[in-house]
Chains A and B, each alone.
Chain A
Amino acid sequence: MAEFPIIEIKGVDKVFKLQDQTIHALAGANLTIAKGEFVCLIGASGCGKSTLLRIMAGFEQPTAGEALMWGKPIDGPDPTRGMVFQDYALFPWLSVRDNIGFGPASRGLPRSEVNAIADKFVELVGLQKFASAYPHQLSGGMKQRVAIARVLANDAQLVLMDEPFGALDAMTRERLQDELLEIWERTGLTVVFVTHSIEEAIFLAGRVVVMTPGPGRIESDNALDLPRPRDVASPEFNAIRRALGAKLHSHHGKKAAA
């Protein structure tokens, strides 16, 4: 297994047909992600970043090219690849504990073991007081903690996050970013994180993949070697922000010229 990277995207095209419209969501995407990386995909809406993430999850199949995990084609969703959705997608009829235990329970583990795992991850995200609460009783930040915990509780090797903090207020977002980094550093997980915020990408990622729309393609792949914890007000941070911003908006110029 070690000879293969955790994720390889090779020449992936994705075309959606909606009635009489054809949407070229992704054209010729190539991306390799090594185990333990924290990669952010950024770009304007319509750049295919979510499509690329959904292909990695196995929710979509590439129209052309291949998506591989450990060298094997991704042919459907799998517990090794956990997804965290922007709108949480928690099971509203299950308590926090049972939401987190959903994966282990689906694997057929005995009830006592499921509960033990669930309790461990309830604690990891600091929701002990809310273990018996239902999702509708939680704040957005707590819901997203549950969504992260249920993926971790299921032993996911790869965590795919689709603008997970996009619907949260600024303070909650910052706290969750810190907590996520802390979990990532501690567990050695691989994270692919979609966002449209340059700041968020620079704050979190070891690598920022910039994507441009129409059709969606990978514009550039930028390794960041800023030490953590990163100071969003530092000159280094700002320099990267400016450089990535220029790349993010470069396609406007190209379009105008074409």
Chain B
Amino acid sequence: MTAAWRRLKPTALALIVPLLLLAFWQMATANQWTRLIPTPYQVAEYMVDFAWGGIYDDAYSATLLTHLLASMSRVYGGFALAAMFALPIGLLIGRIPAARMVLDPFLQLMRPIPVTAWLPLSMILFGLGAKSAFALVCLGAFYPILLNTVFGVRSVDPKLFEAASMLGCKGNAQFFKVVLPAATPSIFTGLRLGLGLAWFVIVVGEMTGVPQGLGAVIMDGRTLSRTELVICGMIVIGVAGYISDRIVVATGNRLLRWSLTHHG
């Protein structure tokens, strides 16, 4: 009994808030506090149709997987692109003062500009469609990876450099044997936040006129006043982003067993 409870407790506690929200949603729609939002049951029914079809059989029936895969390709593609830029630039800024003086002010100046503000320019530069979506997702994921990489590289305990040099590891060899491993927990945190933000900005990214993708579905739902479609898209993004994050965390726990801060 107690052993079973101990195992179930985290799940049970985690479900309290979502269930309360669901109850409130049900109450609000049942009492008709709003007429614009469908009931949980309607959304659930639509979700089934969205995933497998056979209920409404409209343009969106049984298309969930298509849209999910389209969005995933942009999220992971944009994220990979962001990591490809942010990691080397971050290592450069963190290690070389000249690079920091040249790049840091510019990057800090660009940082407050939200991804939404880039939408028009991105569509001009990269055209309508998938390329723009990649670019915007990439931009969204770029800064957390960059900033955490710089932080990781710069906050290596100076004692470790002394320890390495008295053991015979000097100069550039220290980059691979001290700086990189010492910075991995921070870099990993950056990648995790970056991937989270990639999911976060996918809707904006797919405002660029792509036909498929969860963001596109949500934008269509908005235009067509099909709120249940909008909510279904939101739920799928939430769940997909959550699963993706759990996988990253599990990987991190395995790879960073040595790091106290990466347990849990």
Q: Tell me the A residues contacting B by CB distance below 8 Å.
A: 57-59, 76-79, 81-83, 85, 87, 89-95, 102-103, 106-107, 134-136, 150-151, 154
* In contact, B168 and A91 (Cβ under 8 angstroms): no
Given known A-B contacts A134-B257, A134-B258, A136-B258, A89 and B163 have beta carbons under 8 A apart = yes
Contacts A/B (CB < 8 Å), 6 sampled: A57-B166, A77-B162, A83-B166, A85-B162, A91-B160, A107-B168
B73 at the interface (CB under 8 A from A): no
Query: Are A102 and B159 touching (Cβ within 8 A)?
Result: no
* Given A87-B159, A93-B184, also A78-B166 (CB < 8 A): yes
Q: Is B182 in contact with A93, judged by CB distance below 8 angstroms?
A: yes
Q: Is B99 an interface residue (CB 8 A)?
A: no
- The reply to whether A154 and B168 form a contact with Cβ atoms under 8 Å apart is yes
- From the candidates B162, B167, B173, B259, name the one contacting A93 in the complex (CB within 8 A): B259
Q: In angstroms, how far is the closest chain A Cβ from the Cβ of B108?
A: 26
Given contacts A89-B160, A91-B181, A93-B182, contact A102 B257 (CB under 8 A): no
- Give the 3 A-B residue pairs with the shortest CB-CB distance, closest first: A103-B167, A106-B169, A89-B159
Contact A85 B165 (CB under 8 A): no
Grouping DSSP codes into helix (H, G, I), strand (E, B) and loop, the B interface class, with mixed when no group exceeds half, is: helix
Count contacts between A and B, CB distance < 8 Å: 74
Evaluate whether A150 and B167 lie within 8 angstroms (CB atoms) in the complex, with A91-B178, A92-B258, A136-B258 already known.
Answer: yes
Complex contact A59–B167 (CB within 8 A): no
Given contacts A93-B258, A136-B260, A154-B168, contact A106 B173 (CB under 8 A): yes
Contact A82 B164 (CB under 8 A): no
Tell me the complex Cα distance, A79–B166, Å: 5
Beta-carbon nearest neighbor of A108 in chain B = B168
B58: Cβ under 8 A from any A Cβ: no
B57: Cβ under 8 A from any A Cβ: no
Task: Decide if B163 touches A79 in the complex (CB within 8 Å).
Answer: no
CB distance from B143 to the nearest CB of A (A): 26
> Are A85 and B168 in touch, CB under 8 angstroms?
no
Given A87-B159, A106-B173, A106-B177: A79 touches B184 (CB 8 Å cut-off): no
- Complex: chain A residue closest to B261, CB-CB: A136
- In the bound complex, residues from chain A placing their C-beta under 8 Å from that of B165 are 76-77
Asked whether, in the complex, the Cβ of B168 is within 8 Å of the Cβ of A79, the reply is: yes
- The distance in angstroms between the C-alpha atoms of A93 and B186, with both chains bound, is 13
Q: Are B162 and A83 in contact (CB under 8 A)?
A: yes
Least CB distance, B262 to chain A, in whole angstroms: 11
Shortest distance between the CB of A78 and any CB in chain B (Å): 7
CB contact list, B165-194 vs A, under 8 A:
165-170, 173, 177-178, 181-182, 184
Q: Are A59 and B162 in contact (CB under 8 A)?
A: yes
Contact yes or no, B182 A154, CB < 8 A:
no
By the criterion CB–CB under 8 Å, are B166 and A82 in contact? yes
